[in-house]
């Protein structure tokens, strides 16, 4: 049986265009997903202005909330920023940090480090996004992921690890339809687990969930869980289509059921 509850996060990115559309998207996901499923953590990450309204639409928290980013200071003269206490106060339980689309806009390893620190010091779950731009024949992409991970995990204490999630999102797979194969996802998952073990020891490292993102669809989710052995998904495009997203959630629910039966 799997050690972890699968975690599936729908990252809405800069979508949808209006609050009305966000309400509709969430309501459809919530109603299709239905009740009585606590076998997995089902999460959506809406844009900041929509979070409190979505929270109001899910009072039972069967679907939890993530933020797509955070600023490392909690208060002060920082025009345009959003802090962790603000996010917690509107019901956010997970905060994504270092998404490649933010790194592409200038976020550095040092920024990611500071964000990770503020989230974990405030006892909130952090989703640290890592991933290489491209693959090469020499395996240099392992070094890229390792450097991102080591920078993000600097000063992270062992006792914080139950709140740490690593999302492996190879940039070449994001929004391209080129999903990593289950074998590639598994290989990188094992590599990340090894780095965590080196840093924190085997027992502690096992507390960290390692999820995959990059063109996850209803058609490839089962194989990524079964063969890829990932602990869940970060879903972009498909999370904006309620039927597709709920089908991915249900695949994870089924996966848990089947692994409990064996």
35-43, 57-65, 203-211, 212-220 -> range binding ligand 13P (CB under 6 A): 212-220
Of residues 146, 148, 61, the one with CA closest to residue 103:
148
Smaller CB separation from ligand 13P, 105 or 138: 105
Residue 232 is a binding residue for ligand 13P (CB under 6 A): no
Of 67, 72, 65, 79, whose CA–CA distance to 29 is shortest? 65
- Min dist. Cβ of residue 104 to ligand 13P (A): 11
Query: Does the annotation mark 99 as catalytic?
Result: yes
Q: Which of 55, 99, 101, 132 is catalytic?
A: 99
| Binds ligand 13P by CB under 6 A, chosen from 34, 49, 175, 219 | 175
Least distance from ligand 13P to the Cβ atom of residue 192, Å: 16
Regarding 128 and contact with ligand 13P (CB under 6 A), the answer is: no
Q: How many CA atoms lie within 13 A of 83 on its CB side?
A: 11
Q: How far is the CB of 106 from ligand 13P (least distance, A)?
A: 17
Half-sphere exposure of 148 (CA within 13 A, CB side): 26
Paired strand residues for 92: 65
CA 177, CA 44: separation in Å to the nearest integer? 21
How many angstroms separate the Cα of 14 from the Cα of each of 56, 129, 172?
20, 17, 20
State yes or no: residue 111 binds ligand 13P (CB under 6 A): no
**Residues near ligand 13P, by CB under 6 A:** 11, 99, 169, 174-175, 213-216, 234-238
What is the set of active-site residues?
Answer: 99, 169
């Amino acid at each position: 049986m799997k050690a972890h509850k699968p975690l599936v996060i729908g990252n809405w990115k800069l979508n949808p265009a209006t609050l009305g559309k966000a309400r509709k998207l969430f309501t459809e996901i919530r109603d299709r997903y239905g009740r009585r499923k606590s076998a997995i953590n089902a999460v959506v990450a809406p844009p900041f202005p929509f979070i409190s309204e979505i929270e109001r639409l899910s009072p039972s928290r069967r679907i939890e909330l993530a933020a797509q980013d955070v600023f490392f200071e909690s208060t002060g003269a920082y025009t345009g920023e959003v802090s962790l206490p603000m996010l917690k106060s509107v019901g956010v339980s997970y905060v994504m940090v270092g998404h490649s689309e933010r790194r592409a806009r200038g976020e550095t390893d040092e920024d990611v480090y500071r964000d990770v620190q503020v989230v974990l010091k405030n006892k909130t779950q952090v989703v640290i996004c890592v991933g290489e731009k491209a693959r090469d024949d020499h395996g240099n992409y392992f070094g890229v992921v390792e450097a991102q991970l080591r920078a993000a995990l600097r000063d992270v204490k062992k006792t914080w690890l139950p709140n740490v999630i690593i999302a492996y999102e190879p940039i070449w797979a994001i929004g391209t339809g080129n999903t990593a194969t289950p074998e590639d996802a598994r290989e990188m998952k094992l590599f990340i687990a090894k780095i965590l073990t080196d840093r924190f020891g085997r027992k502690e490292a096992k507390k960290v969930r390692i999820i995959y993102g990059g063109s996850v669809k209803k058609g490839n989710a089962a194989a990524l869980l079964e063969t890829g052995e990932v602990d869940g998904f970060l879903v972009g495009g498909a999370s904006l289509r309620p039927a597709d997203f709920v089908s991915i959630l249900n695949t994870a629910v089924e996966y848990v059921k089947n692994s409990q039966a064996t």
